[in-house]
Amino acid sequence: MNKNTVIGFVLIAVILILFSWYNAKEGREQALYKKQQDSLMAVAAAAKVPDSTAIVSADSLQVMPDSAAQPKNEQLYFDTMLNNAAKGVEMTEKLENNKISVLFTNFGAQPKRVLIKNYYTYDSLELNLIRENTSNFNMTLYAGQELSTSNFAFTKYASTDSSITYRLYFDTVAYIEYNYILPPDSYMVSLNVKLYGMDGRIQRNATSAEIKWNLDLPRLEKGYDNEKNYSTVVYKFPNQKSVERLGFRKTTANEKIGTKIQWFAFQQQFFSAILTSKENFLNGDLSYSFYGPDEPGRNLMRCEARMDVPIVRGSGDINIPLQFYFGPNHYKTLKSYDSDFEQIVPLGGWLIGWINRYVIILVFDILSKFISNYGIIILLLTIMLKIVLSPLTHKSYMSSAKMRVLKPEIDKINAKYPKQEDAMKKQQEVMALYSKTGVSMFGGCLPTLLQFPILFAMFKFFPASFELRQQGFLWADDLSSFDSILQLPFNIPLYGDHVSLFALLMGVSMYFYSRMNIDQMNTGGPQMAGMKFMTLYFMPVFFLFLGNNFSSGLTYYYLLSNLITMIQTWVIRKYFVDEEKIYAKLKEKAAGPAKKSKFQERLDAAYKAQQQQQKNKK
């Protein structure tokens, strides 16, 4: 075999080896391409077949080890996968613990229905805070085009007893992941939104994503007006203890917030849906509008939120940690989450709120540990408050008694100065009499005014007290709402279409309390006659109309307060006040050296100036 022959065979062998290597490479690439096509077909099949067995497994959409091996028609893959997701069939999954049950839909990977366990509506139905087809939770991203997650059917990627993970694939290496976690014994659902492999798809100048949540809160309580008056939208700024509200007792309200927000709440009277962001929302818009009382779907209010959440770019994935609270507006329960959620309970401003949080709620909780009947608890609470305030009540009555025993002396001064031009001099002598006897004009008013914060605290506490919800007492079936012994066939303006017995008894007790004290008032003159009419007749009727729609717990408290005050007044008058002795002490004090008060000194100065002006005119 010559040299040329050998060289020829070698060249042929080299060519055959190179050809075999090339064919093997092409085969591997075709196999890889076929595997990707099979993955796409699996996604399409899952969208068309309404069966859980059609869900794409995680293995079928593995991240490719070599990015250079990606197919050249990547945009076609992108469009195909999203189009298939947009045509997907709805599938649902459930997470639940001993407190709530959350039904999720793969469309938008969002809560579809939320059941609050252990509680019921006033009609004894299951309490669904979110009902089907009443909520839409959507995230909008700009990935070459505007994408709204609620328009796409996510793929269930994984699930356990306490978690579920959904994914929306853009291609084989990029997806949006929603991971929901519901811990045991909690009303809080964690949602971690993860953008994987999206850095090249999301526009470089995009620093935020938009979240929209629209929710129709249902009617859950007995009275429409009471439920409406205590439902609103609440939000909280970071690093602040207090919260902001869109307002109570409005038909519609909206607000544009240009600064960071830690969380916001769609608040029904006794239950709330709250969304919080660990990274804070950048800004947003909040609004609500109430449905009418005859709305056929039994919807209470339409709540809408649009929030921007930050997208922090880095070397890894983009994470957006969120949390939902679906549960009762129970003060201690809300406080346990250490996010100032308890501030949504409307307990009043600084002073009134302090009294409710650190006095009323504390006493209420202690009593409820030993007594299950909330009507008895309200009775004991009222007695305790009256005992604590009894020194002020006694002081107020004593001051009124001093004014009464001085009435004959004041009548003499009035007779001495009957003319209008002597009004200043008459006032001077009256003030001199008060100063000599040590009687204060405001002695009876100040103790009464000091009791007003307690009165207003009760006004705030009872309608907002979750403990009273659906708790019956006597003829009232729900102490958090009005009681009714008669349903009227018509509606009386400001009064309503029912008769509240607690409100009626409250008005009657006010009348008898006023009548009990009217004889102690100075009723001479037209002004006092007008005051007598206001106190004896107008105020009881006014509060009867006003209280007819109050919570029965509140009108029951006012009734008890009036009755106990009447007993206190009778006891003080019977055993602690002797008007003859009071008069003797006042006369004894008046005989001593008198010291003018600053008010009397100013009155004397004003009188001298008036006299001087009259002389100058002459």
Share of the chain above pLDDT 90, in %: 36
**What is the DSSP code string of 125-146?**
-EEEEE-TTSEEEEEEEESSSE
The answer to which of 40-54, 95-109, 141-155 has the lowest mean pLDDT is: 40-54
User: Would the pLDDT of 408 be above 60?
Assistant: yes
What pLDDT, on the 0 to 100 scale, is given for residue 530? Answer: 64
What pLDDT, on the 0 to 100 scale, is given for residue 67? Answer: 34
What pLDDT, on the 0 to 100 scale, is given for residue 397? Answer: 75
Q: How many CA atoms lie within 13 A of 487 on its CB side?
A: 1
What pLDDT, on the 0 to 100 scale, is given for residue 421? Answer: 65
Q: Give counts: helices (H), strands (E), the chain.
A: 16, 21
Q: How confident is the model at residue 44 (pLDDT cuts 50, 70, 90)?
A: very low
Instruction: Give the bridge partners for 591, in sequence order.
Output: none
More confident residue, 443 or 312: 312
Which are the contacts of 571, defined by CB distance < 8 A and separation ≥ 6?
A: none
What pLDDT, on the 0 to 100 scale, is given for residue 418? Answer: 72
User: Would the pLDDT of 5 be above 70?
Assistant: no
The mean pLDDT value for 155-159 works out to: 92
Q: Is the dihedral of CA 150, 154, 157, 162 positive or negative?
A: positive
Question: Over the chain, what is the mean pLDDT?
Answer: 79
Most confident of 60-69, 511-520, 526-535: 511-520
Strands (E), 154-295: 155-159, 163-169, 175-181, 188-196, 208-218, 232-236, 244-245, 252-257, 261-267, 271-281, 283-290
Separation of alpha carbons 275 and 126, rounded Å = 23
What pLDDT, on the 0 to 100 scale, is given for residue 41? Answer: 46
The answer for 249, left when phi > 0, alpha when psi is -120 to 50, beta otherwise, is left
Instruction: Give the bridge partners for 322, in sequence order.
Output: 191, 277
More confident residue, 507 or 71: 507
Instruction: Give the bridge partners for 266, in sequence order.
Output: 233, 273
Task: Decide: helix, strand or coil at residue 49.
Answer: coil
User: Would the pLDDT of 260 be above 90?
Assistant: yes
Residue 363 parent element (H or E): helix 361-368
Structure tokens at 348: 């009043």
pLDDT tens digits, one per residue of 77-90: 446 777 778 788 88
Is-contact 498 482, C-beta < 8 A? Answer: yes
Separation of alpha carbons 498 and 349, rounded Å = 32
Structure tokens at 444: 């009876």
**Local structure of residue 575 (DSSP, 8 states):** I
The mean pLDDT value for 510-537 works out to: 70
Separation of alpha carbons 212 and 288, rounded Å = 14
What pLDDT, on the 0 to 100 scale, is given for residue 518? Answer: 73
476, 482, 488, 490 alpha-carbon torsion, rounded to 10° = -170
What pLDDT, on the 0 to 100 scale, is given for residue 60? Answer: 34
Residue 325 parent element (H or E): strand 318-328
pLDDT tens digits, one per residue of 199-219: 667 766 677 889 999 999 999
User: Would the pLDDT of 73 be above 60?
Assistant: no
Amino acid found at 304: E
Separation of alpha carbons 226 and 293, rounded Å = 11
Which are the contacts of 128, defined by CB distance < 8 A and separation ≥ 6?
A: 113, 114, 115, 116, 218
Task: Decide: helix, strand or coil at residue 82.
Answer: helix
Distance of alpha carbon 581 from the chain centroid: 55
The mean pLDDT value for 144-158 works out to: 86
What pLDDT, on the 0 to 100 scale, is given for residue 154? Answer: 93
User: Would the pLDDT of 299 be above 80?
Assistant: yes
Separation of alpha carbons 187 and 102, rounded Å = 10
Q: Is the dihedral of CA 580, 585, 591, 594 positive or negative?
A: negative
Separation of alpha carbons 209 and 319, rounded Å = 11
The mean pLDDT value for 231-245 works out to: 92
The mean pLDDT value for 539-560 works out to: 90
Q: How confident is the model at residue 596 (pLDDT cuts 50, 70, 90)?
A: low
What pLDDT, on the 0 to 100 scale, is given for residue 231? Answer: 93
The mean pLDDT value for 233-242 works out to: 92
User: Would the pLDDT of 614 be above 70?
Assistant: no
The answer to which of 87-101, 205-219, 568-582 has the lowest mean pLDDT is: 568-582
The mean pLDDT value for 315-342 works out to: 90
What pLDDT, on the 0 to 100 scale, is given for residue 33? Answer: 43
The answer to which of 23-27, 385-389, 397-401, 475-479 has the lowest mean pLDDT is: 23-27
The mean pLDDT value for 10-38 works out to: 51
Q: How confident is the model at residue 171 (pLDDT cuts 50, 70, 90)?
A: confident
More confident residue, 154 or 71: 154
